[in-house]
Amino acid sequence: MDTLRFSQGTLLLTPEPPEALAPCFTFDNRTKEWRAPAYAYREIVLLYRQENLPLQDEAKAYASLALTLQRPIVPRPHQADALAAWQKARNHGVVSLPTGAGKTILAVLAIASVQRSTLVVVPTLDLVQQWRTVLGEFFGEEIGVLGGGEKKIAPLTVATYDTAKLMIERMGNQFGFLIVDECHHLPAPFYQLIALASLAPFRLGLSATLERSDGGEIRLFELMGDLVYEAHIGDMVNQVLAPYEVIQIPVSLDADERAIYEASRGVYLQFLRRNGIQMGTPEGWRQFLFRASRNSEGKAAFKAYREQKRIAQAARGKLDEIWNLLQLHSTESILIFTDDNAMAYEIGCELFLPVLTHKTKAAERKRMLDAFRSGEITVITTSKVLNEGVDVPQAQVGIVVSGSGVIREHVQRLGRILRHQPGKRAVLYEIVSHNTNEQFVNQRRRQHDAYQRSSSI
Amino acid sequence: MLTKDLLRYRVRTQKVYPGFIDPQDPELLTLAHSLLEIFENATTEQEVNDTLLQAGLDSHAIFPGLKKLLLDRCTPEAADPEVETHRWQMFAEAQRIRQETHFASRSAYQEAVAQCVEQSFDQVKAKLYQDLPQYRKLELTHLPTASGLLHRYNCALVQGLLLQAKQVSLEIGPLSLPEKRELLRSLKFHQLLVEFPSAEWTETGSYRLEISGPLTLFENVQLYGMKLASFFPRVLLLPQWKLSVELTLKGKPCTLEVSHKQGMVSHYAVRDHYVPPELAQFMDSMGELAPEWQIHMSTAFLHLGGQSYCCPDFTFEHASGQKVYLELFHRWHTSQLLPRVESLSHPEAPPVILGVCRSITRQKTLFPQIENSPWFQANGFFFTAFPRAKVVSSLLDSIYTR
């Protein structure tokens, strides 16, 4: 009888594949064995069944579970539709829902329906804690955690992308169901291993922002299954998401800031012109970096580029505007977003505000988010770690102090304040240095339809 | 290791040329000395940064890379819990004041909050996030010498490029048995696979090993870069080698070639290949008990199929020309014992006698599997401290007469 084994993210078949399965396997000259990638497990087992061939399956090490929901879930119509579409695709595929539309609940329903050991992969430690809490509450089980210094595997386990990537070759056969949250990250070269080396026959990818500038979503669908359900922010405002508006606040640079900004920008632009570099083209940035590293003039231009960017992003006037907004919304829950940690800590120190960055210790992160959810603190300043996934339904006001031109980042930031609560109306402020390059960056990131118009209310 | 932004290299006609530095260059040695001195004297990362800025050392192109390599050797000491307690008190006070009072200006608010704890705004501000890693005392572990730091930089340049590697070939010159063992052990440790050149890997030949991971067979993507990068310093310990790497840089395919000729030096320790005096005693006894067998320390590399190989400790050569090998298994590598017995049980396996340290009797699952193996009963034996010549001699006779 043929025997299938799991080895370092691959499947080994002995003695050799039957004719019908030959295309699935490749003879590995290094080990003199027939090998297939672990993610082909589902296809291989189904083919054996289809051909009515005997197979000793020593590859899978995951269990069928008998999970029961500790409290019933009545799915919202879009969650029921998404679950049905995913089940119809034989428990395989990607679901795209806006932030706040209940992707985690959809995943809980999927786990309850599949009843297999499940690995949930998430991008940040805050999301690990969030998923651990939700899964623990709904299934009444101890949840395994991989990441942030914890290393415990359980039938339901949550891992960060970084830890899963390191461990998947050893544990890729221990889970029958793979859930990848914020799955737009998966096509990155190092993260692909998570999906390739897992034999999980059931897969669910979740994201609010599937588009990738490198077209990587095609690869995502190869690894996790096709896009089976999609809904947009505009479809869900009022019923599922809070109504919202986006307000731009222009800020003028102080005279000394303006002088340094103009001088630095002049040096930078002159270098671009002299070297015929067009930053609007896909090759522009790469050309600039290459030329800038070649001589002292280039190095000066690079320094000038960074200086004008720093001044625009961290203009003094922005602190005053933040202060005005804090007074205007003194009792509401506010998230303040910056492009880098330095600015986040500057705001935190100037206004005595909690700052949550990747440097914040895990215990204090949890304390901060719990305190925010309970209303003990009403403001959190953050750089990028709260961009994705973290569930803070109380957040009603968002203040974007600085950011990149990446559309995804800004849709995700908007999503943080859109969780529906009775009577809630969300406001996203964007503080932009007037008459600087930041205005163009701001325009670029507002190309998503969620930014084209505020909600109709 | 160096991050992508710190790598210095040029690409010409799809070939990558790392920006190697000369570790003997007096100017660079002075720079490295100064950096090390600053790290040794500074108490925090912030202090390191401030001193570096004052010293004007940041103008040199390789400075950020050297600094990163040194910071990797430093760990900030544990945070003072008092700072966090104070911070949360300040959050609570500030929120209460913000919600209770409307202030005409930001500075009025700042003063009001600071007064609550009877301090100035600047004092409160300075203490608020004083437990961030950059403000904590650095604990230094094994800082390299100035020349060691420069060598490490060259190694890190290649390691950084290997992170993007898709395919790696390693050409190696003649290796002694301990060197082969070390190389293969290291490949196994890093879970890398190699395509072995041939069943016989003699001491004089040169070989080309294709190094990759299991999934490389299907996916032409950089999945094993980290493992290859960690393995690379071990390559530097080989006497003669050449590494050819296929990689993708900024979306474009290119190749990197490096070899022992660049004079890179590994920061990994060379293992001591200690030979105990009992060995010589054992060889003498064998010469007396079985004079028809010539015994010598083995240099053989036996490929047993797949990724299974055996580097026996002794080779016995009969007057008739027949060779039999003896491999000794001690308690620290018993994990490979069962797979070895399985490999050697194969009808086409080379003639090997297996000596197993008696301490494995404590391993309740493994011991009966070995003891009851028909192959082991015919070709193996247990020993306490060192094999007895009489036992080995009788096994040699039995194999010869088979």
Contact B193 A319 (CB under 8 A): no
Q: Do B210 and A379 touch (CB under 8 A)?
A: no
Residues B313 and B354 in one domain: yes
Q: From residue B207, how far is each of A109, B166, B172, B184, B203 by CA, in Å?
A: 56, 20, 5, 13, 11
Tokens of B146: 């100035």
A320 touches chain B (CB under 8 A): yes
In a domain, B135, yes or no: no
Q: Which helix (H) or strand (E) holds B210?
A: strand B207-212
What span, in angstroms and rounded, lies between the C-alpha atoms of B232 and B161?
11
- Domain end, chosen from B240, B272, B304, is at B272
Instruction: Determine which helix (DSSP H) or strand (DSSP E) holds A318, and give its type and residue range.
Output: helix A316-328
Taking only the tens of pLDDT, chain B with its 402 residues reads: 898 889 999 999 999 999 999 999 999 999 999 999 999 888 898 888 888 878 777 677 788 899 999 999 888 888 899 999 999 999 999 999 999 988 888 999 999 999 988 999 999 999 999 999 989 988 887 889 999 999 999 999 999 999 988 889 999 988 877 787 788 878 877 888 887 655 455 556 778 888 988 888 887 666 788 889 999 999 999 989 999 999 988 778 999 999 999 999 998 877 655 666 777 788 889 988 889 999 987 777 787 877 778 888 889 999 888 999 999 887 767 777 888 998 898 888 899 999 998 888 888 888 899 999 999 999 999 998 788 999 999 999 888 887
Residue B117, domain member (yes or no) = yes
* Domain assignment present for B282: yes
B19 assigned to some structural domain: no
Question: Among B252, B272, B292, where does a domain finish?
Answer: B272
Both structure tokens of A3? 């025997």
Give the number of domains in chain B: 3
Q: List the CATH number of the domain containing B303.
A: 3.40.1350
B316 and B250 housed in the same domain = no
Angle between helices B63-71 and B26-41 (to 10 degrees): 40
Give B44's DSSP letter: B
Assign domain A244-252+315-452 to a CATH class.
alpha beta
Do the Cβ atoms of A402 and A314 come closer than 8 Å?
Answer: yes
Q: What is the CA radius of gyration of chain B?
A: 30
Amino acid at A196: L
* Residue reference for tokens 């290299």: B9
Residue B300 belongs to some domain of the structure: yes
The one-letter amino acid at A89: A
B339 in contact with chain A, both atoms CB, cutoff 8 A = no
Residues B61 and B128 sit within 8 Å (Cβ to Cβ) = no
Rounded Cα–Cα distance for residues A122 and A104 (Å): 11
Q: In angstroms, what separates the C-alpha of B61 from chain A's closest C-alpha?
A: 9
In a domain, B107, yes or no: yes
DSSP per-residue letters across A186-207: TTSTTTHHHHHS---SEEEEEE
**For A77-231, which CATH class?**
alpha beta
Alpha carbons A108 and A299: distance in angstroms, whole number: 52
Which stretches of B237-396 are assigned E, i.e. beta strand? Answer: 241-249, 252-259, 293-297, 302-303, 309-310, 314-318, 323-329, 352-357, 380-383
Interatomic CA distance for residues A65 and A175, integer angstroms? 11
Q: Which domain CATH number covers B197?
A: 3.30.70
Domain that holds residue B109: 81-130
CA atoms within 13 A on the CB side of A444: 12
Q: B98, A319: Cβ pair inside 8 Å?
A: no
Distances (CA, A) of A162 to A102, A186, A360, B333: 24, 11, 18, 30
B217/A327 CB distance under 8 A: no
Instruction: Please identify, among B211, B243, B272, the residue that sits at the C-terminal boundary of a domain.
Output: B272
Chain B CA closest to residue A351: B110
CA atoms within 13 A on the CB side of A206: 26
Closest Cβ opposite residue B222 in set A10, A189, A377:
A189
* Sole residue written with tokens 């889970």: A175
Structure token pair of residue A26: 């490749």
Residues B287, B396 share a domain: yes
- Determine contact, residues B197/B209, Cβ cutoff 8 Å: yes
- Does residue B352 share a domain with residue B379? yes
DSSP secondary structure code for residue A120 in this structure: E
Contacts of residue B275, defined as CB under 8 A and 6 or more positions apart, other chains included, come to: B297
Longest CA span, chain B: 104
A193 at interface of B, judged by CB pairs closer than 8 A: yes
pLDDT score for B275: 61
Q: What is the pTM of this model?
A: 0.79
Q: Is B81 on the interface with A (CB under 8 A)?
A: no
- Helix-then-strand count for chain B, H and E: 14, 16
Using CA atoms, how far apart are residues A32 and B55, in angstroms rounded to an integer? 59
Cβ pair A327:B103 closer than 8 A: yes
Question: Residue ranges per domain, chain A?
Answer: 2-57, 77-231, 244-252+315-452, 255-313
For chain A (457 residues), the mean pLDDT of every run of 10, in chain order, is 91 91 89 91 95 94 94 92 96 91 94 97 91 96 92 96 93 97 91 95 93 80 95 76 87 94 94 88 80 81 91 92 93 93 95 94 90 94 82 88 80 81 86 89 68 45
Same domain for B352 and B260: no
* Contact partners, residue B285, CB within 8 Å, separation at least 6: B389
| Short-list B309, B310, B312, CA closest to B295 | B312
pLDDT at res. B274: 60
H helices of A140-283, where?
Answer: 161-171, 192-196, 217-224, 233-236, 255-274
Residue B291 sits in the same domain as residue B268: no
Q: For chain A, say whether B334 makes contact (Cβ under 8 Å).
A: no
Interface test with B, best of A10, A29, A30, A359 (most B CBs within 10 A): A30
- Closest C-alpha to A393, from A216, A162, A134: A134
Q: What is d(CA B325, CA B312) in angstroms, rounded to the nearest whole number?
A: 6
Q: Please tell me the distance from the alpha carbon of residue A115 to that of residue B16, in angstroms, as a whole number.
A: 50
In a domain, B34, yes or no: no
Interface of B with A in 233-262 (CB under 8 A): 250
Same-domain check for residues B114 and B207:
no
Give the pLDDT confidence score for residue B143 in this predicted structure. 85
Asked whether residue B190 falls in the same domain as residue B176, the answer is yes
Q: Are residues B125 and B177 in the same domain?
A: no
Q: Is residue B355 part of a domain?
A: yes
Contact B94 A352 (CB under 8 A): yes
Beta strands A426-433 and A244-251 are parallel
A262 to A265, A289, A315, A403, B50: CA distances (angstroms)? 5, 21, 14, 21, 27
Q: With contact defined as beta carbons under 8 Å apart, do A433 and A253 qualify?
A: yes
Identify whether residues B397 and B295 lie together within a single domain: yes
Q: Cα B210 from chain centroid? A: 19
Tokens (6 digits) for A380? 């959190």
A349 touches chain B (CB under 8 A): yes
Instruction: State whether A348 and B250 contact (CB < 8 Å).
Output: no
Q: How far is B383 from chain A (nearest CA, A)?
A: 32
Q: Does ipTM surpass 0.85 in this model?
A: no
Per DSSP, the three-state class of B1 is coil
pLDDT at position A118 is 98
Q: Structure tokens of B342?
A: 């399985």
Q: Given CB atoms, is A296 within the 8 Å cutoff of chain B?
A: no
Q: What pLDDT shows up at residue A372?
A: 93
- Residue position matching structure tokens 């028909």: B374
Residues B105 and B185 in one domain: no
One fold for A2-57 and A244-252+315-452: no
Select A2-57's CATH number: 1.10.10.10, 3.90.76.10, 2.40.128.640, 3.40.1170.30. 3.40.1170.30
